[in-house]
């Protein structure tokens, strides 16, 4: 076993921190208040190669391993979880499925411009009636000669407003299928944006596909491979979201711990109070436990292992830790934790999203339990 980062990973981490401090942190409060997507940070990230983080060099990517990529997401989330989720959606949910399942032509067409930031990716799976239960996909893919007609409504499409490419899932003759739908495809409309509690810089939109005609060559993977593509993409995203949870939790801890050394009550910094020490100690333990779950899951991706179980474990655990740490750190900061001109309130609102996006925690818990009981020869259903 080896728990050390490689020299390269260390170097990347320093670079990510530098980038995030310069290009993300200074604007986060303003963007969050205005609920604007971090377009300028994305542009700068593209210049650094971050928008093609895990994409090979032949497609103009940075060819990072998943551990380094997890460090990128973690670092960005420390300053702005919205930016981290925007970028993770682009890479884990869209670019990596294209890389894994795309034809040579599809990869040539989309990956270089995704890595360059000219095209941002969005993922359209969820529907108003189909959250955790993707078997209920109502969106239809109707084959008509050389083209496919998409009909349906998608909800909670992350990056909807800023995307140039939508990875759309629809039910065809052979089951669930995935399609690469450019923003300018006829019949595609980006609609209602959800006014969210947290992650206010991520645009979650409703997507309308009304007589949306695309060439049959835009199908990603073979007929009926949609379910597998969705599943793999969501597993990769689960690891990235857990990394974001790690980032937001450790930054909340850092912010509140510093506050505890400065805030004097009863004649001493509150860091001297046992109750505060306990909050900090629990938070630190939780952050460290999550940290190694995240890096381990990312390492499994790099090794090409099956992560169907570990992705759910790290995502569910990450959501819990991000929630409990940000909640307790708000408490450490007292009234200042509740004010929007201090960073804790935003981190608290943002972290709450992790129990919902990328599959609610109940769904991941089910998958974990299913794995355990399968080992005992008892199949369970959700």
Partner 1 sequence: MDFTFSPEHRALRRMIREFVENEVAPIAAEIDRTHRVPLETMRKLGQVGLLGVCFPQEYGGMGAGEIGYCILMEELNRVCASTCTNVGAHIGIGAMAIYLDGNEGQKRKYLTPLARGEKIAAFGLTESGAGSDAAAIRTRAVRDGDSWVLNGGKVFITNGGYADIITVMAVTDPALGARGGVTAFIVETQWPGFKVAREEDKMGIRGTSTAELVFEELRVPHENVLGKVGEGFVTFMKALDMGRLTLGAACIGGAEMALEAAIKWAKTRRQFGVALAHKQSVQWMIANMATEIEALRSLVYRVAWMVDTGQPFTQLAAMCKLYGSEVASRAIDMALQIHGGLGFTRDFPIERGFRDARIGEIYEGTSEVQRIVIASNIFREHGVRIRP
Q: Which is nearer to partner 1, 9 or 132 (CB)?
A: 132
The answer to whether residues 204 and 193 touch, using CB atoms and an 8 Å cutoff, is: yes
Is position 30 an interface residue for partner 1 (rule: CB under 8 A)?
no
> Under DSSP, is residue 159 helix (H, G, I), strand (E, B) or coil?
coil
Radius of gyration of the chain (CA): 21
Is position 356 an interface residue for partner 1 (rule: CB under 8 A)?
yes
The answer to whether residues 227 and 175 touch, using CB atoms and an 8 Å cutoff, is: yes
The helix (run of H) or strand (run of E) holding residue 321 is helix 308-333
Q: Which of 14, 34, 216, 275 binds partner 1 (CB under 8 A)?
A: 275
Is position 176 an interface residue for partner 1 (rule: CB under 8 A)?
no
Q: Which of 145, 186, 195, 304 binds partner 1 (CB under 8 A)?
A: 195
Is position 381 an interface residue for partner 1 (rule: CB under 8 A)?
yes
Burial of 186 (0-12, 13-18, 19+ CB in 10 A): exposed
Is position 265 an interface residue for partner 1 (rule: CB under 8 A)?
yes
Is position 63 an interface residue for partner 1 (rule: CB under 8 A)?
no
268-307 burial code (b ≥16 CB/10 A, e <16): eebbeeeebeebbeebeebbeebbebbbbbbbbbeeeeeb
Q: How far apart are the first and last CA of the chain?
A: 36
Q: Which is nearer to partner 1, 71 or 260 (CB)?
A: 260
Picking from 251, 202, 235, the residue whose alpha carbon sits closest to that of residue 87 is 202
Stretch of 70-78, 207-215, 289-297, 358-366 contacting partner 1, by CB under 8 A? 358-366
Report the nearest approach of partner 1 to the CB of residue 276 (Å): 8
Q: Which of 86, 139, 312, 361 binds partner 1 (CB under 8 A)?
A: 361
Q: Which is nearer to partner 1, 199 or 214 (CB)?
A: 199
Judged by CB under 8 A, the chain residues 130 through 149 that form the site for partner 1 are 131-133
Judged by CB under 8 A, the chain residues 104 through 133 that form the site for partner 1 are 126, 129, 131-133
The helix (run of H) or strand (run of E) holding residue 117 is none
The answer to whether residues 354 and 244 touch, using CB atoms and an 8 Å cutoff, is: yes
List interacting residues with partner 1 (CB under 8 A).
126, 129, 131-133, 155-156, 194-198, 204, 264-267, 273, 275-276, 330-331, 334-335, 337-341, 345, 348-349, 352-353, 355-357, 360-362, 365, 381-382
């Amino acid at each position: 076993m080896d728990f050390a980062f490689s020299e390269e990973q260390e170097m990347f981490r320093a670079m990510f921190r530098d980038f995030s401090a310069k290009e993300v942190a200074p604007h986060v409060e303003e963007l969050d208040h205005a609920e604007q997507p971090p377009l300028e940070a994305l542009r700068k990230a593209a210049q650094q190669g971050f928008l093609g983080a895990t994409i090979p060099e032949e497609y103009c990517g940075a060819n990072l391993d998943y551990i380094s990529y997890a460090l990128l997401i973690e670092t960005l989330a420390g300053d702005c979880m919205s930016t981290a989720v925007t970028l993770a959606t682009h890479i884990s949910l869209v670019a990596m499925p294209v890389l894994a399942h795309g034809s040579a032509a599809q990869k040539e067409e989309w990956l270089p411009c995704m890595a360059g930031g000219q095209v941002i990716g969005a993922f359209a799976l969820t529907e108003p009636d189909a959250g955790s239960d993707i078997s209920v996909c109502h969106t239809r893919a109707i084959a008509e000669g050389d083209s496919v007609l998409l009909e349906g409504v998608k909800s909670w499409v992350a990056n909807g407003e800023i995307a140039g490419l939508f990875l759309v899932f629809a039910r065809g003759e052979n089951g669930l299928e995935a399609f690469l739908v450019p923003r300018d495809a006829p019949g595609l409309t980006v609609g209602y944006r959800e006014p969210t509690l947290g992650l206010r810089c991520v645009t979650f939109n409703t997507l309308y596909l009304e007589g949306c005609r695309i060439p049959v060559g835009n199908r990603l993977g073979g007929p009926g491979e949609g379910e597998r593509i969705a599943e793999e993409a969501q597993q990769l995203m689960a690891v990235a979201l857990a990394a974001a949870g790690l980032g937001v939790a450790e930054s909340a801890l850092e912010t509140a711990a510093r506050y505890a050394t400065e805030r004097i009550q009863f004649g001493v910094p509150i860091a001297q109070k046992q109750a505060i020490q306990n909050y900090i100690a629990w938070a630190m333990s939780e952050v460290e436990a999550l940290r190694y779950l995240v890096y381990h899951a990312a390492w499994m991706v790099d090794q090409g292992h099956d992560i169907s179980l570990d992705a759910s474990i790290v995502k569910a655990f990450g959501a819990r830790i991000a929630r409990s740490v940000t909640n307790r750190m708000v408490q450490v900061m007292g009234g200042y934790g509740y004010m929007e001109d201090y960073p804790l309130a935003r981190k608290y609102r943002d972290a709450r999203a992790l129990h919902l996006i990328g599959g609610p925690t109940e769904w991941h818990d089910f998958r974990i339990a299913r794995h355990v009981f399968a080992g005992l020869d008892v199949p369970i259903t959700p």
